[in-house]
Amino acid sequence: MGSAWHARCSRRWTAMPDAITRIGFVGLGNMGWPMAHLLDPHYTLTVHDARADVAESFAGEHRASATTDLAALAAASDAVITMLPNGDIVREVALGDGGLAAGFASGSVLLDMSSSAPLGTRQLAEDLQPRGVAVVDAPVSGGVAGARGGSLAIMVGGDRDEIDRCRPVLEHLGRVIYEMGGSGTGHAMKALNNYCSAAALSSACEALIVGDRMGLEPAKMVDVLNASSGRSAATQGKIAEEILSRDFSAGFTIALMAKDVGIAGGLAEGLEMEAPILARTRDLWKDAAELLGDTAGVTEIVKLWEEWNGGELGSGSG
């Protein structure tokens, strides 16, 4: 048994592509820049951004080189990380004219760390597979602070061997790596996690507004919720720290939450499932993004109930 195990390991090791030493990084936004910064000392890094001056600025401050040519970036990389606004843009960057696919060598890997639609990720993996290019989806949770500190939680989907190959890269970026399953499962987990977060926050806001109208003191309500079965990450953090204090400083925006809940809703529809609470939550956050604006923080969603019910939380008129 031992010799058979070693033989399997030996075959697996020899079949694996070389270790990743050259990385392309596409998307140097609020999350991408600090993530690329953490990788720069450890890899030969080539960066790209839709704003060429941003990529040049990054290269000027780091060892990395910058390029406007996506195919050239792919040709110079063992793995390309995408950190982009959505999966449609990732697909265009990968398969569009002059995109990554034109430069990828067989054995390369596309590591999509964006918040992309899971079924779209699965399709992208199928489209790149004939070229010998693997796709690993590895979205993150932890925000800009986590990106800066290398303490992100990373949810990974894809072929296990390819995940193992990417793991040393991911370990520079995250404190914990969750291997979720096949292609698209990392993106599915990210969207479903944020759906649960959005549902918990919105239901807590609604409960507080109703209780306020009844004469309950919001701060005491939060204390009871946190000592009881109604507690959540929202009641244990965001409600007291930002909503009751009126310090709406959450770095994660309503627009981003609406996007992720929309991805979760699209997944349920794509799988032909009935998910009525998810559908209502998706509509609620979509409306909130339209009414409150793209830059509003997630905790500002309480303003919807305040507007609907004619008073600020804590005034007794909610």
Catalytic machinery residues? 190
**Distance separating alpha carbons of residues 132 and 90, to the nearest angstrom:** 18
pLDDT at position 8 over 50: no
β-strands 174-181, 109-112 pairing: unpaired
**Distance separating alpha carbons of residues 71 and 153, to the nearest angstrom:** 30
Write down the mean pLDDT value for the chain.
93
Full set of structural domains in the chain with CATH: 2-183 (3.40.50.720), 189-309 (1.10.1040.10)
The reported pTM is 0.90
- Quick one: pLDDT at residue 317? 64
- Range of weakest confidence among 8-12, 82-86, 278-282: 8-12
- For 115-160, how does the pLDDT look when each residue is reduced to its tens digit (9 = 90+)? 999 999 999 999 999 999 999 999 999 989 999 999 999 999 999 9
Residues 6+ apart with CB under 8 A from 286: 258, 261, 262
DSSP H or E stretch at residue 157:
strand 152-157
Which among 54, 65, 115, 63 is positioned nearest to 88, based on CA atoms? 115
pLDDT at position 3 over 80: no
Q: Phi/psi class of residue 43: alpha, beta or left (left: φ > 0; alpha: ψ in -120 to 50)?
A: beta
- Quick one: pLDDT at residue 10? 40
Q: Are 291 and 273 in contact (CB under 8 A)?
A: no
Which among 94, 212, 227, 112 is positioned nearest to 162, based on CA atoms? 112
**Distance separating alpha carbons of residues 157 and 272, to the nearest angstrom:** 21
Question: What average pLDDT does range 104-112 have in this prediction?
Answer: 98
Percentage of the chain modeled with pLDDT above 90: 89
